Amino acid sequence: MKIAFFDTKPYDRQGFSEMNKQYNNEIKFLEGKLNAETAFLTNGFDTVCAFVNDEIDSKTIDILSSNGVKLLAMRCAGYNNVDIQSLRGKMRAVRVPGYSPYAVAEHTAALLFSVNRKIHKAYNRTRENNFNINGLMGMDLHGKTAGIIGTGRIGICFVNICKGIGMKVMAYDPYPRENAGIEYVTIDELYERSDIISLHCPLTPKTRYILNSQSFDRMKDGVIIINTSRGQLIHTDSLIEYLKSGKVKGAGLDVYEEESEYFFEDYSDNIIKDDILARLLTFPNVIVTAHQAFFTKEAYDEIVRTTFESIKAFEENRPLEFEICFDYKSNDVVEGIQCNSK
């Protein structure tokens, strides 16, 4: 297969090139993001491999289709940046739904511990030979209540981490897991009772801005917010207001709702022109990481392997286990066998 990879970094080129020795695809790596302005570069390619911040709207899809692209392979779990409905009759699409839930859950825990115990501030102090601990007081997480929004594989992993350190756990999910040993509650009850709220749900029209001014109002004073899922789950302007008021004690964010221009890029010699992101970075009780929760060796190897296996299955006209498509009967996105049966 001839595959055009967009938005690639050195680790992409290394990882996919190394494993491609087993698959013998013809690969072209492109640094630019996929969008309507760069889609013309796909002429002559069978497959396009894209990432979380590429813009795959209807116009982009039309250009890809006219260039002969038959498969869109997302090397990530999320697909909120893809106009799934516009793919119909033009090309098929696959994603990587599960690579390492442990990677993301462990990074979530790292953000929680760091925000609570102010590890980032302590590190900066001691690097300057300042060993004063004033202002670094945290709280025992043992006995506190964690509210988990979304109990997929990642959410369950984080539930287990929280239980392992003696936290009480409750969860909200429209599709509760049976016999999971989790107390499921309404979203309002979760807001009201949680000391820590961690987001582990996909971005959909129903979950967009699930944390907003109304939900922050319902929360306990001093709540800690952690987000390793998608930036638009949180209304950032509202988060800033509640950080300023002290209602939100701290936040650990691996994602940001307008991250596409900045995350995965080096802006160390530039001024951040996004005023909201720049404001977030000024808060001493906020830690921002650049969408790296997935980034472990084990997780990345699985992303590469799953992507190539899906492309191989498409080439051999086999069912696509991780296909995503739009179902007009349910008016929603469906996956896997539901696509293959159509």
Is 291 one of the annotated active-site residues of the chain?
yes
Decide: 101 and 153 in contact? Cβ < 8 Å. Answer: yes
Helix (H) or strand (E) holding 198: strand 196-199
Helices (H), 165-208: 187-193
Characterise 169 by phi-psi region: left (phi > 0), alpha (psi -120 to 50), beta (else): beta
Tokens 């409750």 sit at which residue?
170
Backbone CA torsion sign across 227, 231, 235, 239: positive
Tokens 């409905």 sit at which residue?
85
Is 193 one of the annotated active-site residues of the chain?
no
Catalytic residue among 55, 257, 291, 323: 291
* 157 backbone dihedrals φ, ψ, rounded to 5°: -60, -40
CA distance 39 to 65: 10
List Cα–Cα distances, 261 to 34, 230, 290, in angstroms.
Answer: 13, 15, 11
CA distance 120 to 237: 23
Is 230 one of the annotated active-site residues of the chain?
yes
DSSP assignments along 52-89, one per residue:
TT--B-HHHHHHHHHTT--EEEESSS--TTB-GGGGTT
3-state secondary structure at position 272: coil
Burial-class residue 40 by CB neighbours within 10 Å (0-12, 13-18, 19+).
exposed
Catalytic residue among 230, 235, 257, 335: 230
Burial-class residue 181 by CB neighbours within 10 Å (0-12, 13-18, 19+).
exposed
List Cα–Cα distances, 40 to 8, 50, 64, 85, 87, in angstroms.
Answer: 17, 14, 7, 21, 17
Q: What is the dihedral of CA 179, 177, 254, 188, to 10 degrees?
A: -100
Catalytic residue among 107, 235, 257, 259: 259
From first CA to last CA, the distance across the chain in angstroms is: 25
Would you please indicate which residues are annotated as catalytic (active-site) residues?
230, 259, 291
